[in-house]
Amino acid sequence: MDPRLVNIDLPILGLCYGLQLIAQITQGKVKPATCKEYGTTFVSIDKATGILRGLNKREKVWMSHGDTVYAPPPSFEIMAHSKNCPVAAFKHKKKPIYGLQWHPEVIHTKNGAKMLNNFIFEVCKCEANWKMEDIIEKMVKEIRSAVGEEKAIIGLSGGIDSSVATALAAKAIENKLTAVFVDHGFMREGEPEQVRKTFQKFKLNFEVAEAQERFMHKLKKIIDPEKKRKIIGEEFIRVFEEKANIIDASFLIQGTIYPDRIESGFSKNSKKIKSHHNVAGLPSKIKFKKILEPLRDLYKDEVRKVARMLGLPKKLVERQPFPGPGLAVRIIGEVNNEKNRIIKQADKIVREEIEKAKLDNKLWQYFAVLTDTKATGVKGDARAYGYVVAIRAAESREAMTANFAKIPYSILEKIATRITNEIPQVTRIVYDITHKPPATIEWE
């Protein structure tokens, strides 16, 4: 950032890299950490003032950093430290400039909301006069203004993001909108039928593109997950272009949300974690006048709030997130028809047992992953050599961070027994106990 920004009198809050950046340009000491911190960390609060007003002496926070501030700049004072981070929070001695090494914006920082409230209302002196309804009106106007008298199509997967984007677009341009559900063959068992049933009741033009064979053909011999996502992203666009050409639509609307853009590295200096099919997975040449993304600045929990305000069905609002490329990115390595059948069966068993145990409302996501590893087993007193299936269950609020869920062993045992009994090609089940970070929620 421009170093002159720290010389103005506006309040500034640097989070994680932001704290390091402020320290770097004001002569603090920043260098790679001897011991990096990822996930839950406990910090000691040295000065409970300003942004840290009202906090406990020891706070549970969420860290994700490889560099560390080892000494504050001369004009700053330390507000908090951790075992491995001597400057976990600081403030300017005279100006309203603060920095936190941790992430207050994620649910895993216990009093993160209080810290942000302190900054917004105590330091910045803001007023709480904004309402969620304002953003709905803004997004509807934005779509209506962009499309004008022309036509648009929207990619509808049946997930919460694309469903909310569809509801907003229908509100904005009504019968000038056509919703296209692309059945690429990698949906969960029974899902294509459920999507058809749900959205054929809506007042919009609804079309299904049967594209199972073309997607499977495109993914033949593809192992690299980034290539998979990009191939799927391009093929989605080609299907949409074909549909748009038939109905003479100039615009494509997508349910892209903020975490999609963050993880895809949407700006030139951003680090790419993985290419979401609807962001970095898009081809460079597209036959649309423009792609509209009304939800581009929202997190998943905010999208759900909008969904409730728009009156969308409860089942749809609470549906667990599902990647656009579908089960293709839950099959590690090359995708084929046999693997696709195995993952659909395994995923169905996981969902059935989790929902039977009434754990679904407590979890962000729960699913099976078909790994590219095989292991020896024993079935019917005979040697068996089959696939290893991993189970992933995560707790989160906005998907930027996540905890692995502590599923009771009795439930995991039922899942493991059913998968190995009902799917002959599987011999072993493992449970993923990795937080995000350092992992992502999905495996690919």
DSSP for 165-208, written as a single string: HHHHHHHHHGGGEEEEEEE-S-SPTTHHHHHHHHHTTSSSEEEE
Spatial CB neighbours of 164, under 8 Å, sequence gap ≥ 6: 255, 295, 303, 306, 307, 310, 312
CA distance 360 to 368: 14
Fold agreement (3-123, 330-431): no
* 444 tagged catalytic: no
Hey, which residues does 248 pair with through a beta bridge?
none
Is-contact 364 415, C-beta < 8 A? no
Is-contact 364 395, C-beta < 8 A? yes
CATH architecture of 3-123: 3-Layer(aba) Sandwich (3.40)
* 435 tagged catalytic: no
Is-contact 40 34, C-beta < 8 A? no
User: Do you know the residue count of the chain?
Assistant: 444
One digit per residue, pLDDT tens: the chain, 444 residues?
888 998 888 999 999 999 999 999 999 999 998 888 888 899 999 999 999 999 999 999 998 888 999 999 999 999 999 998 999 999 999 999 999 999 998 888 999 999 999 999 999 999 998 888 889 999 999 999 999 999 999 999 888 899 999 999 999 999 999 999 999 999 998 888 888 777 776 777 999 999 999 999 999 999 999 999 999 989 999 999 999 999 999 999 999 998 877 755 555 554 544 444 444 456 667 889 999 999 999 988 899 999 999 988 888 888 888 888 999 999 999 999 999 999 999 999 999 999 999 999 899 999 999 999 999 999 988 999 999 999 999 998 778 788 899 999 999 999 999 999 999 999 999 999 999 888 999 999
Give SS3 for 249: coil
Among 16, 92, 277, 398, the one annotated catalytic: 16
Task: Mention the CATH class of domain 132-317.
Answer: alpha beta
Among 37, 65, 92, 105, the one annotated catalytic: 105
Residue 276: the pLDDT is: 45
CA distance 94 to 90: 12
* 105 tagged catalytic: yes
Among 37, 65, 92, 103, the one annotated catalytic: 103
CA distance 1 to 8: 13
Long-range (24+ apart) CB contacts under 8 A made by 268-272 are none
CATH of region 330-431, choose from 3.40.630.10, 3.40.50.720, 3.20.190.10, 3.30.300.10: 3.30.300.10
Residue 283: the pLDDT is: 67
Residue 17: the pLDDT is: 94
Domain ranges of the chain: 3-123, 132-317, 330-431
Give SS3 for 418: helix
